[in-house]
Amino acid sequence: MAKTRSDLLQGTLDMLILRTLALESMHGWGVSQRIQQTSSGVLNVNQGSLYPALYRLEEQGWITAEWGSSDNNRQAKYYKLTRAGRKQLDEETANWQRLSAAVEQVLQAT
């Protein structure tokens, strides 16, 4: 079954989720809100991509999940970054910076 988004975008989403969780453990809704707010509304993660990404990251052992109660006393699943996840985040950040620098170079070339 073909994926409709490119691997590039998927990797980027993973990186953003990991980065968000590096600052603070939170539930899926929180992650999506935080990404939206931090990007000033540019990046709007739709749920259909968010949760599969979260489950995938969990399978790979980069985040762990735990049920807890939210601010308004509702049950929610909180995700936390693991040490392996932190390492993965650093790696992906480095890759991204290298990639975006290269793209920038190409665009600047006359």
Partner 1 sequence: MPNNLARSLRTLFKLNRAEQEMEREVRFHLEMETEENLRRGMNPEEARLTALRSFGGVERFKEECRDVKRNRPLETLWQDVRFGARVLRRNPGFTLLAVLTLSLGIGANTAIFSVVYGVLLRPLPYQQGGQLIVLRQQAPLARNNNLFFSVGEIDDYRAKNRTVADLAEHHSMAFTLFGGPEPERIQAAVVSANFFELMGVTPLLGRTFASSDEAHGAEAVLILSHQYWRRSHKGDPNIVGRVFRMNDRPHTVIGVLPPLPQYPNENDMYMPTSACPTRSGERFIANRNARMMSVFARLKASMSEAQALADLSTIAGRMKETYPDAYPANLGFSLTLASLHKELTERAQPTFLVLLCTAGLVLLLACANTANLTLARLMRRERELALRAALGASRGRLIRQLLTENMLLALIGGVVGVLLAAWSIKLLVNFAARFTPRAAEISPDNTALLFTLVVSVATGLVFGLLPALSLRQNLVPSLKEGSGQTAVSAGRRRLRGALVVAQVAVSFVLLIGAGLMLRSLFKLQEVNPGFDPERVLVMRVTANWSKYTTGQQYRSADYFRTIRLPLLSGRLFTEGDDAQAPQVAMINQTLARHRWGDEDPVGKRISFNEGRNWVTIIGVVGDVRQYGLNREPTDELYRPVRQTNGAGNLLVRTTAAPAVMAPQLRQAVYGVDPENAIDQVQTLERVRHESIASPRLTTVLLGLFAALALLITAAGIAGVMALTVSQRTHEIGIRMALGASAISVLRMVLRQGLTLVLLGLALGVAGAFALTRLMSTLLFAVEPTDPLTWLMVALALAAVATLACFVPARRATLIDSLTALRSE
Q: Which is nearer to partner 1, 41 or 105 (CB)?
A: 41
55 touches partner 1 by CB under 8 A: yes
Q: What is the 3-state secondary structure (H, E, C) of 52-75?
A: HHHHHHHHCCCEEEEEEECCCCCE
Q: Which of 48, 73, 107, 108 binds partner 1 (CB under 8 A)?
A: 48
1 touches partner 1 by CB under 8 A: yes
6 alpha-carbon distance from chain centroid: 15
| 69 to 98: interface string for partner 1, x by CB under 8 A | -x---xxxx---------------------
Token code pair at residue 10? 């998927």
Question: Residues binding partner 1: what is the number (CB under 8 A)?
Answer: 18
